[in-house]
Amino acid sequence: MNLSAIHLEQKVKTKTNMPMLIPYGRQSIDEDDIKAVVEVLRSDWLTTGPKVEEFEKVVAEYLEAACAVAVSSGTAGLHCAMHALGIGPGDEVIVPAMTFAASANCVIYTGAVPVFSDVDPETLLLDVNLAEKKITSKTKAIIGVDYAGQPCVWDDLHKIADKYNLALVADGCHALGAEYKGTKVGNLADMTVFSFHPVKHITTGEGGMIVTNKPELAEKMRIFRNHGITTDHRQREETGSWFYEMKFLGYNYRLSDFQCALGISQLNKLPYWISRRQKIAGRYNAAFAGSSSIRPLSVLKDVSHAYHLYIVRIDSRACVMDRTMLFHVLRSSGIGANVHYIPVHLHPFYKEHLGTHPGQCPVAEKAYEQIISLPIYPEMTDEEQDYVIDVMKGLMR
């Protein structure tokens, strides 16, 4: 264990004041993080400077991937990935129904159509057999969401991607540090997108990163995040030239240097934080083992789960109330439970825009009625967790 891990463990053990609301997730920021950001604020480069490249390098190294492209959010990263694949009007992209809206919105941004596919009832990961049935001559790609921090069944996704010549994108926003058959998320699809929102594994405030082993895709995304302009401000400064060309329509999806400095500092602590998340999940699993009313989602063998979320299903016959009531009781007991997610095809925008409707993805819709996300974050204390467990168990028959 390195010094920062010991320091972090001390912090977890000695934190005894329970907050008013135990959140479902939250960031950990220490003095090293603050120092790293302040150093950049005192430097010449607030954005498009050396910290961007450094952050990309350390993330690529950690994930053992060839290229990483830093962007302003996970959502921007998904848009970059769609652009790099040349997705556009007339194309279809298969997306699981059980995910955050951004996984599908990125397809809409390009003028293409997200096709919602249902999930496996036990894991709530994309059901690959059902996804295959959604493939048409217009399908260009599949976005696999490593939901809650558990990798998709990537071997099966590769089989159908190869068979129909489709690109694979991983929405890995929940799964930084997760592994599938010993391979880290980041090397399991053509491109993998991560988010650095404060509830995710590491944070830059807002931020994201796309990781790929295909340099030509990385190059397209670097230009896309900078308006479609082929050189950036720093490159022009270094070559002493004012000339630049905008080759196609891009966006300003850049991540600032002080955010990248925070990301670099946060990444040092990621392995310890993942072990904390796994330990907390293990304690929940042990506490709920044998309960017929509180059932954690299944974990596949051959995966290392990164536990962005800890999700259980509630059997309303065994609970004294349904999931919605349970949610309100937990909230009023100071437990910041949450629901991840409302299936995307049930949102008004998709109903109006694509004509989606209830009944389209019955497994995701049924799960949505039953799931609840319980608090999990690296600095959660045993005391806080025991309180959550006691309240949950007290509400079951």
Nearest distance in Å: CB 316, ligand PLP: 26
The rounded distance, in Å, linking the Cα atoms of 287 and 283 is 6
Residue 16: CB atoms within 10 Å:
8
Please, what's the b/e burial string for 36-71 (b: 16 or more CB within 10 A of its CB; e: otherwise)? bbeebeeeebebbbebbebbbebbbebbebebbbbb
Helical packing angle, 3-14 and 270-288, nearest 10°? 40
The rounded distance, in Å, linking the Cα atoms of 238 and 260 is 21
Write the binding mask 166 to 205 for ligand PLP: x where contact by CB under 6 A, - elsewhere.
Answer: -----x-xx--------------------x-x--------
Catalytic residue status for 200: yes
Choosing from 48, 75, 187, 304, the residue that interacts with ligand PLP (CB under 6 A) is 75
Give the largest CA-CA distance in the chain: 73
Nearest distance in Å: CB 171, ligand PLP: 5
Interface with ligand PLP includes 208 (CB under 6 A)? yes
Nearest distance in Å: CB 210, ligand PLP: 12
10 Å CB burial of residue 196 (0-12, 13-18, 19+) is buried
Nearer to ligand PLP by Cβ, of 102 and 202: the residue is 102
Nearer to ligand PLP by Cβ, of 198 and 334: the residue is 198
The rounded distance, in Å, linking the Cα atoms of 89 and 86 is 10
Write the binding mask 96 to 115 for ligand PLP: x where contact by CB under 6 A, - elsewhere.
Answer: ---xx-xx------------
- Go through the chain and tell me how many residues it has: 397
Span 137-156, contacts to ligand PLP by CB under 6 A: 145
Query: Per CB under 6 A, which region of 25-33, 73-81, 179-187, 290-298 contacts ligand PLP?
Result: 73-81
Which strand (E) or helix (H) includes residue 209?
A: strand 208-212
Catalytic residue among 51, 140, 184, 200: 200
Q: Are strands 303-304 and 179-180 parallel, antiparallel or unpaired?
A: antiparallel
Query: Per CB under 6 A, which region of 57-65, 67-75, 285-293, 354-362 contacts ligand PLP?
Result: 67-75
Choosing from 27, 28, 48, 73, the residue that interacts with ligand PLP (CB under 6 A) is 73
Binding site for ligand PLP (CB under 6 A): 73-75, 99-100, 102-103, 145, 171, 173-174, 195, 197, 208
Catalytic annotation, residues? 200
